[in-house]
Amino acid sequence: MSRPTRITSVTVKDIRFPTSLQKDGSDAMHKSPDYSAAYVTLTTDSDITAYGTTFANGKGTNIVCCAVEVFEKMLVGKQLSDIFDDFGNFWQSLVSEDQIRWLGPEKGVIHLATAAIVNALWDLWAKMENKPLWKLLVDMEPEKLVSTIDFRYMADTLTKEEALEILKKMQDGKKAREEELLAKGFPAYTTSCGWLGYSDEKIKKLATEAMAAGWTRFKMKVGADVKDDVRRAKIFRETLEEDMLLMVDANQKWEVQEAIDWMKQMADYKILWIEEPTNPDDVMGHAAIAEALVPLGIGVATGEMCQNRVMFKQFLKAKAMQYCQIDACRLGGVNEVLAVILLAAKYNVPVCPHAGGVALCELVQHLSMFDFVCVSGTMENRMIEFADHLHEHMLSPVVLKGGRYMAPKDPGYVVGIKEKALADFVYPEGAEWQRMFKEGLFQQE
């Protein structure tokens, strides 16, 4: 296999799966999601092809795809040495193009598109080195890793020198932690039992099956009706064993005081955290909720809709999150995720990534594993979300044993989606979509 030297093409596909038919992924704000992805393919002047994704929820995925295409001329013909030798500055050039940045800057659809491209570049780099992404990151010298990060707007909170110090401090014991990771995997929690649209019987059945498979950490969706949420939490607690963890997720449903009052009514059910209790940009609102819930022993988790490192900086400085939920696609790809992981380490806030959408589980496992080996040095109070949907379509699906993510071995990051899935679910021309249109299950946009 020859080593690539430049990018020869950038293409993107709108891939959508009809998860709304079974209410998979349903919550208080997103009642009928169709899990989707803008799926980027990078070809090179070798036989190595790389892939990148950004997660979406159905309608509008085509808009993200259009945004990806805006970047094509910045990538095609680009020498890979110009990218990977100074990745931090290249990332900055993507988010700082003087006309494109007006659509953000560093937020919204244009940042989702940036993530898909950047994730594809990391997939390419890992494949070039014949390593899974987590291993590529773990094996990097601290100076090289820090060079991939854009530290703009962070100097008042985390400098390049401080980041380097964190990484160098954790060099001791790296080998032992990597061996522990390979032997035991990384802790996970499941959301697959607690979607808002599921019946009581389905919740009990799925939770019982999950416990039998070794799961000890569970999350349920809340926010539609407080009495119903209390009843469902009671079902979970009666089904789960005494020492098992239960988290709840409101998906931005409430006003600040409403969130506090709602959680007080659920406190008897030993809730570890309330996730996204209010608007995802409301730093002070989250801080007020967090302060009010301290006596109840309930933390605030947020971050899946947190659009950039600057927002995370504010949440962390304001003590507005007790659990930092990075998203591999909402942020601008791996480079920006690394910045947030280091920020969280400075504030001693555990990173518990958001996952569950198209390829999100496959992506974030690498990030938590790097965090454990090189940054935090612990798995205590840390876990990766898992939802058991759509993994059968991945070329390198996640492997879980006893409620833990096992370290991936295949080279790459996204690795790729199977050709059959692409043919069936590319929107709107995919074979499965054409069938569902004809049967009246969906109307074409």
Give the whole-angstrom CA distance, residue 225 versus residue 230.
9
Q: Which of 127, 253, 354, 389 is catalytic?
A: 354
DSSP character at residue 278: S
Are both 356 and 391 inside the same structural domain? yes
Are both 395 and 432 inside the same structural domain? no
In a domain, 265, yes or no: yes
Sequence-ordered list of residues with C-beta below 8 angstroms from that of 96, at least 6 positions apart, any chain: 105
The question of whether 221 is a catalytic residue gets the answer yes
**Angle of helix 256-266 versus helix 226-239 axis, rounded to 10:** 40
Are both 204 and 125 inside the same structural domain? no
The question of whether 204 is a catalytic residue gets the answer no
Placement of tokens 């990173």 in the chain: 351
The number of distinct structural domains making up the chain is 2
In a domain, 145, yes or no: no
Q: Return the pLDDT at 249.
A: 97
- The closest alpha carbon to 303, from 320, 325, 275, belongs to 325
Are both 178 and 273 inside the same structural domain? yes
**Tokens, residue 28:** 């208080």
Placement of tokens 């833990």 in the chain: 404
In a domain, 384, yes or no: yes
Are both 383 and 245 inside the same structural domain? yes
Give the whole-angstrom CA distance, residue 223 versus residue 253.
6
Are both 114 and 173 inside the same structural domain? no
Residue type, 154: M
**Tokens, residue 168:** 């160098």
Alpha helices in 269-333 (DSSP H): 283-293, 309-317
Are both 72 and 170 inside the same structural domain? no
Q: Return the pLDDT at 288.
A: 99
pLDDT tens, residue by residue, 205-260? 999 999 999 999 999 999 999 999 999 999 999 999 999 999 999 999 999 999 99
Strands 299-302 and 271-275: parallel
In a domain, 445, yes or no: no
Are both 385 and 427 inside the same structural domain? no
Q: Return the pLDDT at 97.
A: 94
- The closest alpha carbon to 385, from 265, 303, 263, 271, belongs to 303
**Around Cβ 243, how many Cβ atoms within 10 Å?**
7
First to last CA, the chain: 42
* Average of per-residue pLDDT across 272-300: 98
Are both 226 and 267 inside the same structural domain? yes
Are both 107 and 235 inside the same structural domain? no
- pLDDT > 80? residue 30: no
Scored b (16 or more CB within 10 A) or e, 410-422 reads bbbbbbbbeeebb
Query: How are strands ordered across the β-sheet holding 36-44?
Result: 7-16, 36-44, 49-56
- The closest alpha carbon to 90, from 66, 70, 71, 63, belongs to 71
CATH of the domain at 67: 3.30.390.10
In a domain, 443, yes or no: no
Strand locations in 137-243, DSSP E?
186-190, 217-221
Give the whole-angstrom CA distance, residue 67 versus residue 76.
16
- For residue 235, the enclosing domain spans 166-412
Are both 100 and 225 inside the same structural domain? no
In a domain, 40, yes or no: yes
pLDDT tens, residue by residue, 43-100? 999 999 999 999 999 999 999 999 999 999 999 999 999 999 999 999 999 999 999 9
Percent of residues, the chain, with pLDDT higher than 70: 99
CATH of the domain at 402: 3.20.20.120
CA atoms within 13 A on the CB side of 278: 22
Q: Return the pLDDT at 27.
A: 65
CA angle centred on 75, ends 70 and 76, rounded to 5°: 105
In a domain, 147, yes or no: no
Q: Which of 221, 253, 366, 389 is catalytic?
A: 221
Are both 222 and 191 inside the same structural domain? yes
In a domain, 199, yes or no: yes
